[in-house]
Amino acid sequence: MSVEIPIGTSVHVKVPASSANLGPGFDTLGLAVSLYDHVYVEVIDSGLEVEVSGEGENDNPLDERHLVVRAIRAGLNAADVTVRGLRVRCQNSIPQSRGLGSSAAAAVAGVMAANGLAGNTLSESTLIQLASTFEGHPDNAAASILGNAVVSWTNISVDGRTAPQYEAARVDVHPEIKATAFVPDFHASTEAVRRVLPSNVSHLDARFNVSRAAVMSVALRDRPDLLWEGTRDKLHQSYRAEVLPVSAEWVNRLRNYGYPAFLSGAGPTVMVLSTEKVAQDLVEEATKRGIRVLNLDIAEAVEVTLGES
């Protein structure tokens, strides 16, 4: 029999943004960065109240369709608990539809809030599974949950009848590595950008990316000097260039200057991982062209605090 959570129980979730792929690790590598959404959830007597401020405040439904609410419901169901009503307040700083994991952060915030309300009864692997289910792949969600970098993978049953199982392992990032995000002033649909990818790739390109993804896992942890080589890719970025020309231009320009730049997730954000700051003249040029430049740290795991609403 489900347990009902008492009215007045509340929780605050601070969830980091994330960058996926990191060049060669398509749907596999992810990284948490220090840009945060804050979600406050309180159990109330009845109904649903949703408030959104900041990024996406005029674009998100304020009812059961909201992704945070759907994720809360999934988490409560998994924990076998019920509530009479919910008050959900979202303060968003993560740019939406820009390749910084905003939807994954929303899913993570929801399942983590539910777990907090339920007394933290769900395992880490269950939380990754629940949040990743909303995305269809675990790289962004796992990064926001675990912090630092992640290597993630998906297990699909042979018969195709069992739901995919999402897994991830954390990789602690070298302390000198910082992130710089170049965020263009336009949105990119993940599904639209995925449609330009070919259904088949050459064995040569696949081998190239396998080797660079392996290099990247070493570069992140121990060898920042290998970041430029570790962020090379032949599986997706060149194909996406035709629909994201501004992003492709900045990836190429930054790399030509020696910066380890790559398309963050499905874009349009371009991310640089380096131990050195990007030259001020490049930052100023990007800013003049309407690109927001954010200097970010590598983030730790999502934070959940009980009793804050």
d(CA 195, CA 197) in angstroms, rounded, equals 5
d(CA 99, CA 18) in angstroms, rounded, equals 8
Burial class (CB in 10 A: 0-12, 13-18, 19+), 47: exposed
From residue 55, alpha-carbon distances to 52, 78, 140, 221 in Å are: 8, 29, 18, 32
Which pLDDT value is given to residue 190? 67
230-280 pLDDT, tens digit each? 999 999 999 998 889 999 999 999 999 999 999 999 999 999 999 999 999
Q: What integer best gives the mean pLDDT of the chain?
A: 95
Which pLDDT value is given to residue 242? 85
Which pLDDT value is given to residue 241? 86
Q: Residues 5, 83: contact at Cβ < 8 Å?
A: yes
Mean pLDDT of 294-301: 98
3-state secondary structure the chain: CCEECCCCCEEEEEEEEEEECCCCCCCCEEEEEEEEEEEEEEEECCEEEEEEEECCCCCCCCCCCCHHHHHHHHHHHHHCEECCEEEEEEEECCCCCCCCCHHHHHHHHHHHHHHHHCCCCCCHHHHHHHHHHHHCCCHHHHHHHHCCEEEEEEECCCCCCCCCEEEEEEECCCCCCEEEEEECCCCCCHHHHHCCCCCCCCHHHHHHHHHHHHHHHHHHHCCHHHHHHHCCCCCCHHHHCCCCHHHHHHHHHHHHCCCCEEECCCCCCEEEEECCCCCHHHHHHHHHCCCEEEEECECCCCEEEECCC
Which residues line the annotated binding site?
A: 95-105
Which pLDDT value is given to residue 2? 83
Question: Residue 299 — very low, low, confident or very high, per pLDDT cuts 50/70/90?
Answer: very high
88-116 pLDDT, tens digit each? 999 999 999 999 999 999 999 999 999 99
- 230 vs 157, which has greater pLDDT? 230
Question: Residue 161 — very low, low, confident or very high, per pLDDT cuts 50/70/90?
Answer: confident
CB atoms within 10 A of CB 257: 13
Instruction: State yes or no: pLDDT of 68 exceeds 90.
Output: yes
Question: Residue 187 — very low, low, confident or very high, per pLDDT cuts 50/70/90?
Answer: confident
Which residues line the annotated binding site for ATP?
A: 95-105
Which pLDDT value is given to residue 105? 98
CB atoms within 10 A of CB 302: 25
d(CA 206, CA 35) in angstroms, rounded, equals 32
CA 137 to mean position of chain CA atoms:
11
Which pLDDT value is given to residue 158? 77
72-86 pLDDT, tens digit each? 999 999 999 999 999
Nearest alpha-carbon partner for 298 in 197, 149, 195: 149
d(CA 274, CA 128) in angstroms, rounded, equals 28
Nearest alpha-carbon partner for 101 in 169, 12, 22: 22
Percentage of residues in the chain having pLDDT higher than 70:
98
22-34 pLDDT, tens digit each? 999 999 999 999 9
